[in-house]
Amino acid sequence: MATKLLATPEEYLTMGFDGPDCEYLEGEIVERAMPDYVHGEIQARFVEIVYELKTQHPLRAVTEVRHRLAAARYRIPDVAIHYGPKPAERVPTTPPLVAIEIVSADDRYTNMVKKLQEYEAWGVPNIWVVDPEERSLAIFRQGKLEPAAVLEITALGITITPAQIFN
């Protein structure tokens, strides 16, 4: 069993890691699943989609950026879509419009759901899960993960189809 690394939020924010960035949960440094090429390709596709939508909506997409959900909780969505002007902080403290998690081969379902619950409690209005292996989409709302035929930002009239993501 791996030894748990403990740190203060200030220490965490100055750390670099071999491999993917780690999250910070109440003093504990938590490793994330190792992404693969397909995972990265899907992240890039969401960035492209948001870039295409920028002519109609003030959207910004970032990949694997730390977000501060609370004083001692930092999560890293695979993709975060922010609405409006660029966040003022280097580590955003306000919920994005969309948090997207892309399932990796070594993700644990219980860990994923806990993270999605935290996004919902923080106030993220759109929480999406993309499974590259199954080529499926899901939406997390009201504490439940539900399969979805498309991903929507209803307030903006935006619909993203599987064909746009899995090309």
Q: What is the pLDDT of residues 15-28, one digit of tens each?
A: 999 888 999 999 99
- Whether the per-residue pLDDT at 6 is higher than 90: the answer is no
Q: Does residue 5 have a pLDDT over 80? A: no
Query: How high does pLDDT run on average in the chain?
Result: 94
Virtual torsion, Cα 9, 15, 21, 22, nearest 10 deg: -40
Cα four-point dihedral sign 105, 108, 111, 114 = positive
Residue 3 is predicted with a pLDDT of 52
3-state SS, residue 154: helix
pLDDT recorded at residue 4: 66
Asked if residue 133 has pLDDT above 60, the reply is yes
CB 93 within 8 A of CB 75: no
Give domain 33-165's CATH superfamily.
tt1808, chain A (3.90.1570.10)
User: Given this model, what pLDDT does residue 20 score?
Assistant: 87
Structure token digits, residue 105: 């081969």
The pLDDT value recorded for residue 1 is 41
For residues 108 and 116, is the Cβ–Cβ distance under 8 A? Answer: no
Average of pLDDT values for 63-83?
97
At 33 the pLDDT is 86
Detail the DSSP E strand segments found in 89-163. 98-102, 126-131, 136-141, 144-148, 151-153, 158-160
For the sheet with 136-141, list strands across it: 59-63, 79-83, 98-102, 126-131, 136-141, 144-148
